[in-house]
Amino acid sequence: MKATFKKYLLQFKRPGGTSRGVLKTKETWFLTLENDGKIGVGECGLFRGLSHDDVPGFEAKCQWVADHIHLGLERLLTELMDFPSLQFGLEQAFLSFQSQHPFALFDSPFLREEAPIPINGLIWMGDTGFMKSQIDEKLEQGFSCLKLKIGAIDFTEELRLLETLRNHFSPDEIELRVDANGAFAPEDALDKLKGLAPYQIHSIEQPIKQGQWELMRALCEASPLPIALDEELIGVTHVTKKEELLQMIQPQYIILKPSLVGGFGSGEEWIGLAEKYNIGWWVTSALESNIGLNAIAQWTATLGSKMPQGLGTGALFSNNIESPLYVAQGGLHYDKSKKWNMEPINEICI
């Protein structure tokens, strides 16, 4: 079996604002397995500045994987504990290689019966007018769950935006989630959470920077709205450490991004621990191309969660891989009548 890695730069249609800065491009890596004319494709969704494996030796590790693909999936996953995006890409590529179709990885109603997965509509940071225009667009598209990136503009302006939404839509009509991406300072985080509480927010993701377990635990205990851990899970690779984190912080939710937490096996390990401690969870993509998004969606569809998932990022890029995935009426759909555009995939990967 031959393994090949190729880098691909995804271009945002319009810049995406977060508390860490404005995103214009997103680097990703495609892994292709080939043997006797049969191929398998996976995406290693490296996220610069965020991924645990955003290290100087990443490209060298890709080459090491290609040179040692004969070791097999289980051995490679063990060797790559500190390279979660590579673990994720390998899982996909081996599933793809073993499948009758390279992009049919998991049997589920989503793939088989075209049953949509409910998702949240993502609202990027920007000035008030820009954020309001995105909200109007998502509401017109039929979303009943919105996730707003917060923490980069004036907090009072963000509260006004939430107040406007709540004046028009009750929690029964629109579920509101917010994502601070660690933007709040520990000394005023609780005050900001109290400021958000009147707007009946479903949850806030990562209010303070990761790695401050005692401070995060205190916030989870005192917060008037549920807290979801996101970046906090990055780099926590061993099951004992995962359990220690959940026991220590006791969050209300965790958010699983397979590219950042080490793929499906690691994600299911997190889910098992979360359910052991009565912690809720949902799955989110991390700006992968449609190749990675497709894999995440198919996996998510097998997990039985009824909550809106964070899988609406496929339309963000001008040069994404054309696929059967599409978003309509607040759900991610898979149109079996539409084919994958294999030509650019072949050019990229082979």
Query: Which residues are known catalytic residues?
Result: 149, 257
User: How many Cβ atoms are within 10 Å of 70's Cβ, its own excluded?
Assistant: 9
| Whether 105 contacts 96, CB under 8 Å | yes
3-state secondary structure 111-152: HHCCCCEEECEEECECCHHHHHHHHHHHHHCCCCEEEEECCC
Tokens of 231: 């970046």
* CA distance readout (Å), 43 to 36, 61, 112, 262: 21, 15, 22, 12
Its sign, for the CA torsion 137, 18, 26, 61, is: negative
User: How many Cβ atoms are within 10 Å of 150's Cβ, its own excluded?
Assistant: 28
* CA distance readout (Å), 246 to 61, 68, 240: 30, 35, 10
d(C-alpha 217, C-alpha 214), whole Å: 5
Close Cβ partners of 153 (under 8 Å, ≥ 6 residues apart): 125, 126, 127, 128
